[in-house]
Amino acid sequence: MRLVLVGTSHHHAPVELRERVALDRERGSTLAERLADGGGEAVVLSTCNRTELYVAAVDIDAAERAAVAALAELEAEVEPALYRLRDHAAALHLFRVAAGLDSLVPGEGEILGQVRTAHDAGTTRTLLDRVFRQALHAGRKVRAQTAIGETPASVSSAAAALAEQVFGDLDGRSILLVGAGKISEQAARNLLSRRARIAFVANRTLDHAADLAERFGAEPLPLDRLEEHLATADVVVSSTSAPGYVLDAPAVERALRTRRGRQLLLIDLAVPRDLDPAIHELDGCYLYDIDDLEAIVSETLVGRRGEAERAEAIVAAEAEKFREWQASLDVVPAIASLRARAEEIREAELRKAEGLLGRLDESQRNAVEAITSQIVNKLLHLPTVRMKQAAAAADGVIYADAVRHLFGLGEDER
């Protein structure tokens, strides 16, 4: 089995393209099942920053074509923005993703949970289960052994930093949250740390809005009352899973008439986007989407370059372990066949000596069994070790073929 990755991310495609290939958990799981049909394996990782398809298959070229076709089905224009990686390169990329090193905000913590969720929703067997578990291990190791995750460690914290840049001081500024999920809660906490006031929480499910609003002393709202409260808000932060816009330009334009020239900052953290891009054209409105946060993020990297280098070293070491494990798969069948042939010969010779062995008592027969087994194991120990070492050095297939030829392994089947 070989590993292939096909995907796109914020490095290669703007948000307006990424949102067209974004998949929720259910659709991602369905696509993974489809790509794994016929004995393969597949995992779909889809976040605000990326949509990536990880596929393990015997026919790696066919698997890559199927993955490209699946993304092109969602959006034909995405194909030029796709990257394709295989085996060690694909694993290294996944490990960097899980460690937060490939995120819009390097070191952000949400991605580790997203990788775990994708793994759970995928169709995995030996290879993808191994690479995803090792990626999660690498991500946890980076967070434990480096300070790469220090503030701002998420898109939410970067959004709060942006709001502070726009207004200079957030003390007493009124915040309207759209969406009541984890990202909205994190945004609220970051804004509160800068002395802003969470005034309203709007959500499609009012009970969820009420739960979050209660934590921050805010007023819960249904989405259909969103427009009327734009008049008093200073900042709107939106992060829902809605398939279309929850707020369009005409609604914001109507609200502006009652604001008496006060500026309105809108931050869209959702993919697909929640806020109509045309809002940015309205006088007094400043709309930023998830891609616009890159400038803020880059400012935070200067002091964390050393931590990033340490994190990269950890990730590279973990990826090398995976490479060695995957390479060893090429020689495992040959080793198993060699041991099976040796055991077959041992048992056959013992049967030939049955006339002599029949005079021995049970303890003596057991001793003969143990001694002959030890002889076989000791003879095969060094060849087994050398074959595994050769596999890690990319010579494994040559060694495996030589062993098959020298010992006639597989000739009976032929």
Q: Which residues contact 25 (CB under 8 A, 6 or more apart)?
A: 117, 121
DSSP 8-class letter at 275: B
Q: Is residue 213 part of a domain?
A: yes
51 lies in some domain: yes
| pTM for this entry | 0.73
Query: 368 pLDDT exceeds 90?
Result: no
Q: Are 143 and 112 in contact (CB under 8 A)?
A: yes
Q: Read off the pLDDT band of 245 (50, 70, 90).
A: very high
Q: 58 and 172, same structural domain?
A: no
Least-confidence region, from 205-209, 225-229, 387-391: 387-391
Instruction: Let me know if residue 26 belongs to a domain.
Output: yes
Q: Which residues contact 398 (CB under 8 A, 6 or more apart)?
A: 390
Share of the chain above pLDDT 90, in %: 56
Contact, 76 vs 19, CB < 8 A?
no
In a domain, 309, yes or no: no
Last residue in a domain, options 244, 262, 283: 283
- Rounded CA gap, 341 and 272, in Å? 58
Residue 55 and residue 83 in one domain: yes
Same domain, 104 and 190: no
Q: Which amino acid is at 344?
A: E
* Structural domain contains residue 373: yes
Instruction: Say if residue 105 is in the same domain as residue 207.
Output: no
Question: What secondary structure does DSSP assign to 384-399, as a single string?
Answer: HHHHHHHHHTT-HHHH
- The CATH number linked to 68 is 3.30.460.30
From 145, 180, 215, the end of a domain falls on 145
Does residue 59 sit in the same domain as residue 23?
yes
pLDDT at 413: 44
Instruction: Kindly state the average pLDDT of the residues 375-399.
Output: 77
59 lies in which domain range? Answer: 2-145
For 319-340, what is the mean pLDDT?
81
Catalytic residue, chosen from 43, 44, 48, 104, is 48
pLDDT for the residue 11:
92
Looking at the fold, whether 175 and 243 belong to one and the same domain comes out as: yes
Q: Is 263 helix (H, G, I), strand (E, B) or coil?
A: coil
Instruction: Say how far apart CA 247 and CA 277 lie, in whole Å.
Output: 10
Over 80: is that where the pLDDT of 306 sits?
Answer: no
State whether 187 and 265 are in the same domain: yes
Q: Is residue 303 part of a domain?
A: no
pLDDT over 80 (residue 65): yes
pLDDT for residue 77: 95
Point out the least confidently predicted range of 28-42, 217-231, 242-256, 341-355: 341-355
Rg, Å, the chain Cα set: 29
pLDDT at 94: 97
User: Does a structural domain hold residue 8?
Assistant: yes
CA-CA distances (angstroms) from residue 356 to 324, 363, 366, 367, 374?
47, 15, 14, 14, 20
Measured distance CA(134)–CA(98) in Å, rounded: 10
Same domain, residue pair 164 and 214: yes
- Of residues 125 and 108, the one with the higher pLDDT is 125
Burial of residue 265, with CB atoms counted within 10 A of its CB: 0-12 exposed, 13-18 middle, 19 or more buried? buried
Asked if residues 157 and 109 have their Cβ atoms less than 8 Å apart, the reply is no
The reply to whether 285 belongs to the active site is: no
| Secondary structure letter of residue 247 according to DSSP | B
Residue 125 shares a structural domain with residue 166: no
Quote the tokens at residue 62. 């066919």
**Of 198 and 164, which is predicted with more confidence?**
198
Helix ranges, 260-361 (H)? 294-301, 305-328, 332-352, 354-357
pLDDT for the residue 302: 62
Cα gap 173→235, rounded to integer Å? 8
Q: Give the CATH number of the domain where residue 216 resides.
A: 3.40.50.720
CB atoms near residue 289 (< 10 Å): 23
301/43 Cα distance (integer angstroms): 31
**Could you give the CA distance from residue 208 to residue 58 in angstroms, rounded to a whole number?**
46
Distances (CA, A) of 125 to 36, 55, 130, 147: 10, 11, 8, 33
Q: How confident is the model at residue 380 (pLDDT cuts 50, 70, 90)?
A: confident
- What total of structural domains would you count in the chain? 3
What integer best gives the mean pLDDT of the chain? Answer: 88
Give the range among 121-135, 186-200, 345-359 with minimum mean pLDDT. 345-359
- Determine the Cα–Cα distance for residues 202 and 208; give it in Å rounded to an integer: 9
The percent of residues in the chain predicted with pLDDT above 70, rounded, is: 93
Same domain, 264 and 195: yes
Domain assignment present for residue 319? The answer is no
Residues 134 and 19 in one domain: yes
What are the structure tokens assigned to 93, written together? 């990329």
* 17 and 89 housed in the same domain: yes
Helix, strand, or coil (residue 231): coil
262: left (phi over 0), alpha (psi -120 to 50) or beta: beta
326 vs 314, which has greater pLDDT?
314
Name the pLDDT band for 412 (thresholds 50, 70, 90): low
Q: How many helices (H) and strands (E) does the chain have?
A: 16, 10
Q: Which of 37-46, 214-223, 280-289, 335-344 has the lowest mean pLDDT?
A: 335-344
Q: What is the pLDDT of residue 411?
A: 57
- Provide the pLDDT for residue 401: 77
Lowest mean pLDDT, pick from 37-51, 142-156, 278-292, 400-414: 400-414
Instruction: Report the 10 Å Cβ neighbour count for 173.
Output: 20
pLDDT at 388 over 70: yes
- Among 148-162, 285-299, 334-348, 378-392, which stretch is predicted with the lowest mean pLDDT? 148-162
Q: How would you classify the pairing of strands 264-268 and 197-203?
A: unpaired
- pLDDT by residue (tens digit) across 339-359? 888 888 888 888 888 877 777
Residue 330: its pLDDT value, please?
67
Q: Which of 145, 163, 183 is the last residue of a domain?
A: 145
